[in-house]
């Protein structure tokens, strides 16, 4: 506010009310900053200063010199860069100088003199303005940034730092409406390297993957994968299922089995699976819902889901499904106190694994054989603890111990 009064009213503090009558309210929501930015916008008018600020709203970090050049190259982006073309270096520095005096642009970084940075509230304010009021310019900017970031990584990077431009490329591609291209030309072949799942399993970048995948969802809602895009960029049912499965897996890995966001993804997966015949992904969806229910719902719900998984495994005659079903039944029954039946299911899972050669799937959060062995041991320990009582006697024993 002080900078604005200095620039617009020669420092006359008596004119402060002309900035806003509401500067004293709701500091936590950034009203101070927004009201001052609105005043600066009125004072600057539609000119190069606002265009620079709107461009910076495209970034969540300092804007690199090469990225800015990609936005400013010919042809102009209508509604954004007309006033920034054919500027001399002196004119460009003058624009930046006015923004820095207004405290709307950070000082020059001596280590990266061509980069431009600003406060996150400034980025948010002008970025949202560009997105909502100049949609075509927003998309064109993101399309150029998508191409720019892709060009920085022509091959298959082996470190997180080398791969970071690809994460930015996917995000910009989604903002530009290029959902299918970003998925099939960058995310799958370069970031995950097909079925290798390189970024997740080799680099361990699951948190970064979540921040990328969320842009494939409407308004970043985990239960609503996008189904539209520009031109031929519509995501098919299989695309949606892939994104939902990836998101559920990494949300569970990062936020735990009780992740409500992972549950939303799994519920949506089950819904989409009704329209296409994808039993493996239906299995993933049911297992995800079962994991959530085991920590955050009634055990009766967990048991019901475990039985559905078991029915699916029988229908498909799939050994890996059956091992997963044994795990689900064993854990639900274990926590319900039926150690005998739980132990039988856990041991059955071990037997299937050893005799029929089941293998872990990428979608498995834990190694199935380890879980089966764990619950087999836990149930045996419970039997030893209570002197291997038969089931009927054991239940009576539990009832007698209820008061304790």
DSSP secondary structure code for residue 191 in this structure: I
Annotated domain spans of the chain = 153-297, 299-404
* Whether the model pTM is above 0.85: no
pLDDT digits (tens, 9 = 90+) for 194-247: 989 999 999 999 999 999 999 999 888 888 887 666 666 788 899 999 999 999
The CATH architecture to which 299-404 belongs is: Alpha Horseshoe (1.25)
Q: What is the pLDDT of residue 403?
A: 42
pLDDT at 310: 95
Whether 139 contacts 163, CB under 8 Å = no
pLDDT at 182: 95
Report residue 29's pLDDT band, with 50, 70 and 90 as the boundaries.
very low
189 pLDDT more than 60: yes
Q: Say what angle helices 206-213 and 160-175 make with each other, to 10 degrees.
A: 10
Rounded average pLDDT over 2-22: 63
Question: Rounded to an integer, what distance in angstroms lies between the CA atom of residue 232 and that of residue 360?
Answer: 35
For residues 112 and 106, what is the distance between their CA atoms, to the nearest angstrom?
A: 12
pLDDT at 231: 66
- Residue at token pair 């402060």: 16
Say how many residues make up the chain.
404
Token reading at 38: 């609105």
Tell me which of 165 and 126 has the higher pLDDT. 165
Q: Name residues whose C-beta falls within 8 Å of residue 161's C-beta, 6 or more positions apart in sequence.
A: none
């Amino acid at each position: 506010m002080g900078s604005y009064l200095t620039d617009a009213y020669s420092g006359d503090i008596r004119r402060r009310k002309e900035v806003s009558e509401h500067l004293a309210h709701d500091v936590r929501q950034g009203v101070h900053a927004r009201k001052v930015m609105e005043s600066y916008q009125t004072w600057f008018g539609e000119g190069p200063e606002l265009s620079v600020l709107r461009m910076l709203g495209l970034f969540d970090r300092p804007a690199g010199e090469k990225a800015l050049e990609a936005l400013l190259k010919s042809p102009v982006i209508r509604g954004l860069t007309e006033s920034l073309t054919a500027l001399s270096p002196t004119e460009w520095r003058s624009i930046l100088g006015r923004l820095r005096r207004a405290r709307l642009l950070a000082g020059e970084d001596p280590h990266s003199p061509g980069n431009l940075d600003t406060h996150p509230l400034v980025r948010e304010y002008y970025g949202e303005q560009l997105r909502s009021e100049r949609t075509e310019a927003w998309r064109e900017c993101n399309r150029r940034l998508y191409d720019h970031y892709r060009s920085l990584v022509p091959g298959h990077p082996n470190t997180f730092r080398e791969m970071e431009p690809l994460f930015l490329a996917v995000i910009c591609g989604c903002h530009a409406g290029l959902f299918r291209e970003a998925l099939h030309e960058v995310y799958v072949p370069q970031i995950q390297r097909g079925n290798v799942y390189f970024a997740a399993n080799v680099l361990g970048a699951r948190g970064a993957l979540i921040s990328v995948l969320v842009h494939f969802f409407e308004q970043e809602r985990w239960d609503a994968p996008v189904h539209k895009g520009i031109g031929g960029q519509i995501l098919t049912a299989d695309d949606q299922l892939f994104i939902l499965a990836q998101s559920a897996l990494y949300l569970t890995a990062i936020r735990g089995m009780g992740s409500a966001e992972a549950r939303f993804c799994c519920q949506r997966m089950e819904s989409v699976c009704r329209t296409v015949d994808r039993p493996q992904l239906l299995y993933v969806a049911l297992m995800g819902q079962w994991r959530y229910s085991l920590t955050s719902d009634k055990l009766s719900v967990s048991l019901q889901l475990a039985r559905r998984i078991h029915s699916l495994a029988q229908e498909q005659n799939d050994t890996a499904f059956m091992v997963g079903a044994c795990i689900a039944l064993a854990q639900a029954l274990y926590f319900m106190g039926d150690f005998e039946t739980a132990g039988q299911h856990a041991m059955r899972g071990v037997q299937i694994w050893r005799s029929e050669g089941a293998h872990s799937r990428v979608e498995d959060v834990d190694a199935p054989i380890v879980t089966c062995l764990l619950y087999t041991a836990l149930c045996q320990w419970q039997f030893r603890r209570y002197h291997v009582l038969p089931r009927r006697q054991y239940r009576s024993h539990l009832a007698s111990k209820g008061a304790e």
